[in-house]
Amino acid sequence: MARSINHNANTGALPDFRNPGILLRMLLIVNGVVLLASLLQVDGFRTLPARIAENAAAVEPLLILSLLVLAALNNVLRRLPFIAAAIAVIAIELALTVALHVLAERLYFADASMLARRLLIVALTTGMLLVYFDLRGRALSPALAEARLQALQARIRPHFLFNSLNAVLSLVRKEPRRAETALEDLAALFRALMADNRELVPIASEVELCRQYLELEQLRLGDRLQVEWHVDKMPADALVPPLALQPLLENAVYHGIEPAETPGVLSIDIYAAHERLHIVLRNPYRTSGNHHTGNKMALGNIRERLQLHFDVAAELTTRVGEDTYEVRIVMPYRKAEA
């Protein structure tokens, strides 16, 4: 089943312990607790550095080991119901605490009486983190719905719909079969737009939708629009946010192909490398001449949806070359679960 973010999907679910954003937040929160505890334990700032170092020496080994173990067990834990998964995480933390304490006793003659206190602190801190990430998921879910609505309002420009219909009408008598195919492509595109776009979808279906969109654009632009697909290394089962590619292609046509009088090449390169999915789009760019402006809305919507699905593990960057405009998306390579 594809992963999703909706009004309920982020509630009652563990965070992704392999996501760099989640790991960074855990590091910051735990070290913030260490700093606060150190401040409460000293009478003056002169002894604060020594107290911070002492507390950090006790906390950091457990913190680092916890991150490694939770990342290794991430897929198993996220398949469990939330309550069972939360209990499992707390049990793992307590077991790691005991193991490190026993090791410290043998190496450093640690005080055995401190174990009960450490177990209580670890249980409370772990519970606090689980509650924080659950509340954060609840807060982000409506944001995705709002971003989706904004994206739907701005994604398909009215001129594209009118021009596509006019192009189809011009084919009805001369090439009825081609006109029928174009109407089917147009229907498929708008069906995708009006669907519930909170589910991650296979990249192969997103590419097929984009092919249909570009075929519609070629009805009116003809040879001016030349498309190069580089998808021989594309993992067809990779999951992506729906309609993450089509708005970028629409921008490329609107800003790079339409204003020019000569043919232009739109290049799409999709491949996987080092457990990351890369999507690279290139279109012509001219520093002078008739230019459309205002492609920031689609880029902003896609950036927001990437962040909501993948946190800081995904990025969207743009680059202006001498005669090309490039958009690059990099996100984790996730597969649909059986």
Cα(298)–Cα(155) distance, integer angstroms: 7
Pick from 245, 247, 241, 236: nearest CA to 196: 241
- Going from N- to C-terminal start, the domains of the chain cover 20-140, 156-332
Cα(252)–Cα(326) distance, integer angstroms: 9
pLDDT of 162-206, one tens digit each? 767 777 777 777 788 888 888 888 887 777 766 666 678 899 988
Interior/surface letters 154-191, b for 16+ CB within 10 angstroms, e for the rest: ebbeeebeebbeebbeebeeeeeeebebbbebbeebee
pTM: 0.72
pLDDT score of 155:
53
Residue 178 tokens read as 């081609």
CATH class of 156-332: alpha beta
Higher pLDDT residue, 191 or 126?
126
Cα(326)–Cα(269) distance, integer angstroms: 11
What SS3 state is found at 144?
A: helix
> Is the predicted pLDDT of residue 338 greater than 60, yes or no?
no
Instruction: Report residue 284: phi and psi, to 5°.
Output: -60, 150
